[in-house]
Amino acid sequence: MDTIPAVVAAAAHRFGDAEALVDGPVRMSWRELGAQVRAAAGLFAENGVQPGDRVAVCAPNTHHWVLAALGALTAGATLVPVNTRFTAAETADILDRTRAKSLVVVGEFLGRDRLRELRDDGHRIPGHVMTIDPGTPWQPLDHAAPDVGTGPDDVSDILFTSGTTGRSKGAMSAHRQALGVARAWAGLGGVTQDDRYLVINPFFHSFGYKAGILVCLLTGATIVPQLTFDVKQAAELVRRERITVMPGPPTIFQSMLDLPGADLRTLRLAVTGAAVVPVTLVERMQREFGTVLTAYGLTEAVVATMCGPDDDAETVATTCGRPTAGFELRIGDQGEILLRGPNVMLGYLDDPHATAQAVDADGWLHTGDVGTVGDRGHLTITDRLKDMYISGGFNVYPAEVEQVLARLPGVTESAVVGVPDERLGEVGKAFVVANGLSTEDVIAHCRRLLANYKVPRQVEFTEALPRNASGKVLKRVLRDAGA
């Protein structure tokens, strides 16, 4: 079972009438899920999707996403998840660069109509469009699935990540790789058919898709997606659906534990990370839930290290665990974390130069993160070579924001850094050299061109940016000033 379509078929056979997916009023068995995935594959094929074509999915966490994405993969297509927070321009860029044959897109959602935005701005729309409504259950399909013979080394997905140059890059993974990291994650978490998994991580993100949907396919755990995160609703889902597994950033667990009257007794596994994790919070979570794990990964490798169930609170809070999923780990020049193994991405889409920069001739992925390895082999992240920061669990690359600011008339130059934020972990602060502009002008300009998590929350106007002798902006000085 080294392809995702094979795993879908096996899950339908192995787990049969057990509950596979719960999304509001929709309750679907593994047998039903398998049948609808095959029918969705037939629908894509009838609309011209051939093996190797790209199918983009821009939608929130619902059963529609699961069925459409798995249907596309079963049709032999390559899945291209699209961040629902992207602007029309950002979405169009991905559709163009992947030459997407089909687009699965949510209708009006959270005050936006993404398809209309694409059309109004004159962007190219794929020939086949499937619009979904989160409030309307998936209508059963009756189409014959094509026989495409997908192989384990075929590209399963292209997940886009931004680089320090500011241009997004599409990391390509094979079926065997996507499943390899999911098996490792499931194994360390001890996930089984008895589990019920609340997925709050976006499906368009590798964690929601590969450590969420694929983990459940492999183990028979029930998938319970949450459309948009809300603390009270999540706590109610835990109680009502007897949730046992739930990943999320530390602030989510802190909020749920502090919620009056919350009944979280069914939770047995919590996985956290993507921000500083207080030891006291891990201790409390271990008392409440039992197993708490932290992990380290990136789009190009998904899950590279992970703590184990027997690690104490100090280890879970201050490290990212040991290598997993067949990864080797070493510390390179300047303390950079290097990874090598069978699940390092195949490369960046249509960008051999960037691929060669990221993965050296010996197969080591240069992560751009700085860390140390302790006596027991646990990895601790200490800094970043790159300037990327994490806001609300999403990676933000300042170079991309700085390029947008450079397009605003009146801006001479700018530098963006991440500064601490109690709710989101970090937010962007823009230091701007400009004439005749206000904070509102800068933020409004960014909101027009960037997803909301990339928009700086703070703006400081300055006469000049601090630089070293070679002229490089000293972002460390700016971080200290902005903290």
Strand partners, 9: none
Level-2 CATH architecture, domain 4-148+157-379: 3-Layer(aba) Sandwich (3.40)
Tell me what pLDDT residue 387 has. Answer: 78
* Antiparallel, parallel or unpaired: β 269-272 and 291-296: parallel
Residues 321, 293 contacting (CB under 8 angstroms): yes
148/78 Cα distance (integer angstroms) = 13
- Cβ neighbours of residue 230 under 8 Å, at least 6 residues apart? none
Domain boundaries, the chain: 4-148+157-379, 390-482
Predicted confidence pLDDT, tens digits, the chain (483 residues): 799 999 999 999 999 999 999 999 999 999 999 999 999 999 999 999 999 999 999 999 999 999 999 999 999 999 999 999 899 999 999 999 999 999 999 999 989 999 999 999 999 999 999 999 999 999 999 999 999 999 999 999 999 985 434 568 999 999 999 999 999 999 999 999 999 999 999 999 999 999 999 999 999 999 999 999 899 999 999 999 999 999 988 878 888 998 999 999 999 999 987 555 778 888 999 998 889 999 999 999 999 999 999 999 999 988 999 999 999 999 999 889 999 999 999 999 999 999 999 999 999 999 988 889 999 999 988 766 667 888 988 888 887 898 899 889 999 889 999 999 988 889 999 999 998 999 999 999 999 999 999 999 999 999 999 986 556 788 888 988 866
Q: Is residue 157 within 8 Å of residue 178, measured between CB atoms?
A: yes
The predicted pLDDT at position 13 comes to 98
3-state secondary structure of 24: coil
Structure tokens given for 338: 């290097």
Closest C-alpha among 125, 104, 127, 114 to residue 56: 104
- The reported pTM is 0.85
Say how many C-beta atoms besides its own lie within 10 A of residue 359's C-beta.
Answer: 21
- Helix ranges restricted to H, 392-438: 398-406
**390-482 homologous superfamily:** ANL, C-terminal domain (3.30.300.30)
Distances 398 to 43, 209, 449, 481, 482 between C-alpha atoms, Å: 41, 26, 14, 17, 15
- Please list, residue by residue across 217-254, b when 16 or more beta carbons sit within 10 angstroms of its beta carbon and e when fewer do: bbbbbbbbbbbebeeeebbebbeebebbbbbbbbbbbb
pLDDT of residue 353: 95
